[in-house]
């Protein structure tokens, strides 16, 4: 199963003669094509790699759209954006106004990813976690505590490697 935008979707694996693995997102499932001559372990590794490649690209385009959307609402501009693969952080904002986001946020429901985007953009106004910072976050996203809770409860699942059904 694969967690994607808050839903657990099946991952079907088929063998093909090509190199490594290729991943496709169908309507309600993922399909991986993997070289059948690889060992089980190598297949899993290749599929995980193909999934990450696909998910990073998917996240990138979603993130661009959400950043544009919330920058307009909040009235901020940022420097550079980087997409990271971290085990401990979902996002960060530097004192120079550069933003980092974890591609695994695409595994969370859209409203949870939106919360992290809003959180980091609010750091462009308050570079701390002061009361004013949280008031600002809450003024753009009144239900943000539900998203914080979702990340706490599901963070570990988001870090799990994908597995075939
Ligand atoms: Zn923060």
pTM: 0.94
Give the pLDDT confidence score for residue 62 in this predicted structure. 98
Tell me, in angstroms, the distance from the centre of ligand 1 to residue 85's CA: 17
Per-residue tokens: 11: 């991952």
The CATH class that applies to domain 2-158 reads alpha beta
Distance CA 12, CA 98 (A): 38
Look at residue 162 in the predicted model and tell me its pLDDT.
Answer: 83
CA of 165 to the centre of ligand 1 (A): 36
Closest by Cα among 129, 99, 116 to 155: 116
pLDDT in the model for residue 154: 95
Q: What is the pLDDT of residue 27?
A: 87
Q: Which residues, given as ranges, of the chain have pLDDT below 70?
A: none
**What would the two tokens of residue 72 be?**
């307009």
* Spans of all domains in the chain: 2-158
pLDDT digits (tens, 9 = 90+) for 56-83: 999 999 999 999 999 999 999 999 999 9
126 alpha carbon – ligand 1 mean position (Å): 9
pLDDT at residue 44, as a whole number: 93
Question: Between vectors from CA 149 to CA 147 and to CA 150, what angle results, nearest 5°?
Answer: 65
CA pair distance 73, 165, nearest whole angstrom: 42
Task: Identify the pLDDT of residue 130.
Answer: 98
Q: What is the pLDDT of residue 70?
A: 98
Residue 117 CA, ligand 1 centroid: distance in Å: 10
């Amino acid at each position: 199963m694969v967690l994607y935008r808050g839903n657990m979707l099946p991952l079907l694996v088929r063998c093909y003669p090509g190199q490594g693995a290729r991943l496709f997102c169908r309507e309600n499932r993922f399909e991986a094509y993997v070289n059948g001559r690889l060992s089980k372990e190598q297949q899993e590794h290749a599929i995980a790699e193909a999934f990450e490649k696909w998910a990073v690209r998917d996240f990138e385009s979603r993130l661009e759209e959400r950043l544009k959307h919330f920058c307009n609402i909040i009235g901020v501009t940022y420097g550079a954006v980087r997409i990271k693969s971290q085990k401990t952080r979902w996002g960060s904002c530097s004192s120079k106004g550069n933003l980092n986001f974890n591609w695994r946020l695409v595994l969370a429901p859209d409203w949870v990813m939106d919360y992290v985007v809003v959180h980091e953009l609010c750091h462009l106004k308050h570079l701390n976690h002061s009361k004013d910072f949280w008031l600002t976050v809450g003024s753009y996203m009144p239900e943000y505590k539900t998203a914080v809770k979702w990340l706490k409860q599901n963070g570990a699942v988001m870090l799990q490697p994908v597995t075939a059904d």
